[in-house]
Amino acid sequence: PAVQSAREAARRTQCANNLKQMGLAFLQHEEAYEHYPTGGWGWGWVGDPDRGFNERQPGGWIYNSLPYLEQQALHDMGKDGSEYGDPITQAKKDNQGERTKIPLSTFHCPSRRRAVAYPFGNPGQTKHGEITNFTHHDNVARSDYAANGGERDTHPGNMQIWPDNCWNGDCGPSPGAFPTKQEIEAKAQVARDFGSNGIVHALSTVRVADVRDGTSNTYMAGEKYLNPDFYTTGQDSGDNENMYCGDNGDIARWTYAEPLQDQQGFSSAIRFGSAHPGACQFVFCDGSVHTVTFSIDLVLHRRLGNRSDGEMVDLSDL
């Protein structure tokens, strides 16, 4: 037991270091572009190096953090100079599909699973991979971490960004082409009007100035809950895409449900949690990493997910 406890302590420390690196990447991105990494468009798209770092970018926060995690080459796979309305070439799809197979140890908690490619949620099926901006592969990279989406569920479907074909990859001048500038601007306004109060959501460009409750009082990202039955299968609805995709429950979670320790037989694609006994870990918007017990008061947990509710929090209650 003593050896097991020491090993778990070491794994928890590595997990905290992973979150620290993510936090630094968020802060460097905000310094460079005056907003945190965008949430992207949805699960049907992956990051595209020709489309910048704002609402034009289909990839989510993990993809947009890559240059600040010493992964510029991984970020740039598929770069070809394409713009609004341009056809998505097969070469771009192939290169961006290759990226989806490449895991990073930074995004894996060592208490849960190894940093390897895991089966896609629907192996052998085309699903959306052939009709958007990447080629489908049966084994893809995953993340054990998720950004703070706020205290209300901002899944693109709930925000009515879906089911428009545009966000499932079948829109533009012809199927499989990028949406127009006007379409993107309209969808970004829909997302803003929905009233997300977290740090990342679909088409988000949240600024540090928007964190009115204070950066030391607001979650930035944390460990996500996962059913242990599906650690390696891709059958959990919050773990069935690749980690370079746009906003969805694979890479964003919300605080209206309490965090939980991973438990067999129960799946939940909305909440934070971990494989650690007793607690999970979060990086806050000031870059600090904190341990949050599973017994945290749900009201406090919700407040820490809301960047601007004006409510006081006491971090000693974590």
| Burial environment of residue 92 by CB neighbours within 10 A (0 to 12, 13 to 18, 19 or more) | buried
Give the Cα-Cα-Cα angle 231, 112, 253 (nearest 5 degrees).
Answer: 75
Say if residues 246 and 253 touch (Cβ distance below 8 Å).
no
- Judge whether 97 and 135 are in contact, CB under 8 Å: yes
pLDDT digits over 127-151, tens only?
444 457 888 889 999 999 999 999 9
CB neighbours (10 Å) of residue 43?
28
Using 50, 70 and 90 to split pLDDT, how confident is the model at 306? very high
Express each pLDDT in 206-241 by its tens digit.
Answer: 999 999 999 999 999 999 999 999 999 999 999 999
- Other beta carbons less than 10 A from residue 279's beta carbon: 20
Question: Which pLDDT score is estimated for 45?
Answer: 86
- With 50 as the cut, is the pLDDT of residue 254 above it? yes
Residue 85 pLDDT more than 80? no
Residues 6+ apart with CB under 8 A from 193: none
pLDDT of residue 161: 67
Residues 59-70 have pLDDT tens digits of 999 999 999 999
